[in-house]
Amino acid sequence: MSLRDQAAEVLLGNWRGHNTIPAPGLYPHQWSWDSAFIAVGLRHLSSLRAQQELESLFGAQWADGRVPHIVFDPEAPRQGYFPGPEFWRSEEVNGPQHPDTSGIVQPPVHALAAWEVHASDPETSRRRSFLERLYPKLVAWHDYLRGRRDLGGRGLVSIVHPWESGMDNSPSWDAPLQRVEPVPPTEFQRRDLDHADASERPTDADYGRYVRLAATYRDHGYADGLQVHEFAVEDPVTNSLLAASEAALVRIAQELGEPAHPHEAEVARIRDALPLLLEDGLFHSYDVHGGDLVRGGSVAGLVPLVVPGLPQAQDLIATATGPRFRAEELGVVPSWDLTDPLFDPSRYWRGPAWFNITWLLQRGLDDHGAPELAQVLRTGMLTAANRSGFREYIDPRTCEGKGAHHFSWTAAVVLDLLA
C-alpha cells in the first residue's frame, strides 16, 4: 500500500462521526490542536470532514471564548483517559447541555487550519458558510487569549498549565513547576501507562503537578488571574501561533468582506512583542512569577518562524541548522537541544522529533527565504514515516518510532506533504 493510502487509512480509522481522535487507546477523545493539524491533512481526503473537524471542536467553545483542550466523547469508555470529565466538571460552568470538556486550552493554530481547509475547496466552504460561521468563534477565541491571559501585562499570552503548551513535559517547564506541590500518585490513577511505555511518558512527579494545577484552576471556577495560577508562562509557540492565526484571519476577513485591518495590526503587535522572549538566536519562555526567561533549548523557540515578516528569522535558521538542532543533517527537528545533558531521545517532549512541529517549521522556512531547508524537512518527514509508520514521535537521530501507533496528526502531515 502506498504511504498516502496508509496515511488515509489511519485518519479514516480514527474518525468518530464528527471528529478524529489523536490515536486509539491512549487518546480516545477530541484534542484541540490535534484537530487543527488533522483538518489540514483531512482536507485532502474530504473537505467536508475537515470542516466538521473544526466545527465540532468550536461547538464545545465556552461562553468566555476559550476552546477547551479536550472535548470528551460520551461514547468512549468512561475510564479510558485520566483526567476525564468527572475531574474537570465543566458542566458546573457551562451547564449540562454543553459537551463535557477540559478547562484548559492548547496553542491557537485553528484559524491557520480553517483558512487552509477553506482554500482547498472554496466552493464547498462557501456553500456551507463554513468561514462565516467559524470566523466570530475564532475571533472570540483569540479575544479570550488576549483579554484573559496576558498575565504578565507585557502583551503576550501566558499558558497556565504545561498541557496548554502541547509540549507537556518539556524541560522548559521543570523550573516553573518546582513551585507546585505534586498530588501524591496514590490519589489518582494514570491511564496513559496502560497504553505507553513509562520510559517514554512524563514521570509520576510531573503528573502529580499537572493534577494539582488543573484541580486548583477548576476549584476557582476556571477564573484567570495570577493569584489562581501558580504556573504562568509566556510561551513562544502559543504567541507565535496566535500571530500566524491572526495572519490567517486577515485572509478570512477579506474573503468575508469584513475589515482585515484589526488582524493585520495584531500580527504586527505580537511580532513586536516577541523579542521580549529572544536571547542568543532562540526564543525562550518567560516565567511570570519568577520574572525571568526560562533559558534552555526547546524547539518551541524556533516556532516563531511561522510569524510572517519575523525580523529574527535568519538567526533562528542558523540555530536550527547548528549543533543544537542539526535540522539539515537530520531532516527532522528534535524537541530539545541535542547538546544539552537533558536531551532524551525517547521521552516525549524532552528530545524526540514530532511531525506537527517539523511541519510548522517547514512552512516558516518557505516563508522566510529558506526553501531548500524546507524541502529537506519535507523529505525527512516522509522518509521517517516510510521507515517507522505513523508513530506519535520519533528518535530524531535514528527515526525509530515511539509512543502511540496510528497517530492522526502524523498521518495528516504526511497527507499534506504528499498532496
The residues of the shown chain that bind ligand 9WN, judged by CB under 6 A, are 22, 27, 31, 33-34, 69, 163, 166, 168, 192
Residue (of 224, 234, 227) closest to 292 by Cα position: 234
> Which one from 34, 121, 266, 392 is the annotated catalytic residue?
392
CA distance 357 to 98: 32
Q: Which is nearer to ligand 9WN, 100 or 266 (CB)?
A: 100
392 as an active site residue: the answer is yes
Q: Which is nearer to ligand 9WN, 82 or 98 (CB)?
A: 82
Query: Which backbone phi and psi does 282 adopt, to 5 degrees?
Result: -150, 145
Q: Which is nearer to ligand 9WN, 161 or 263 (CB)?
A: 161
Residue type, 236: P
Q: Is 362 left (phi over 0), alpha (psi -120 to 50) or beta?
A: alpha
Pairing of strands 233-234, 278-279: unpaired
Quote the least distance from Cβ 352 to ligand 9WN, whole Å. 11
Quote the least distance from Cβ 325 to ligand 9WN, whole Å. 19
Contacts of 407 (CB under 8 A, 6+ apart): 10, 22, 23, 390, 391, 392
Helix (H) or strand (E) holding 402: strand 401-402
Q: Which is nearer to ligand 9WN, 61 or 410 (CB)?
A: 410
All three cell numbers of 377:
524537512
Quote the least distance from Cβ 27 to ligand 9WN, whole Å. 5
> Which one from 168, 255, 266, 416 is the annotated catalytic residue?
168
Contacts of 310 (CB under 8 A, 6+ apart): 271, 274, 304, 316, 364, 368
Q: Which is nearer to ligand 9WN, 115 or 407 (CB)?
A: 407
Q: Which is nearer to ligand 9WN, 131 or 214 (CB)?
A: 214
Quote the least distance from Cβ 255 to ligand 9WN, whole Å. 28
Neighbours of 3 (CB within 10 A): 17
Quote the least distance from Cβ 411 to ligand 9WN, whole Å. 12
CA distance 6 to 293: 42
Q: Which is nearer to ligand 9WN, 82 or 260 (CB)?
A: 82
Residue type, 264: E
Quote the least distance from Cβ 33 to ligand 9WN, whole Å. 6
CA distance 375 to 372: 5
CA distance 328 to 342: 22
> Which residue number places its CB atom closest to ligand 9WN?
22
Q: What per-residue string of b and e applies to 216-253 under the rule 16 or more CB within 10 Å gives b?
A: bbbeeebebeeebbbbbbbbbbbbbbbbbbbbbbbbbb
CA distance 274 to 62: 28
Task: Report residue 249 CA to chain centroid gap.
Answer: 18
168 as an active site residue: the answer is yes
Quote the least distance from Cβ 169 to ligand 9WN, whole Å. 8
Quote the least distance from Cβ 102 to ligand 9WN, whole Å. 8
Q: Which is nearer to ligand 9WN, 214 or 320 (CB)?
A: 214
Angle subtended by helix axes 236-256 and 130-148, to nearest 10: 140
Catalytically active residues, by annotation? 168, 392
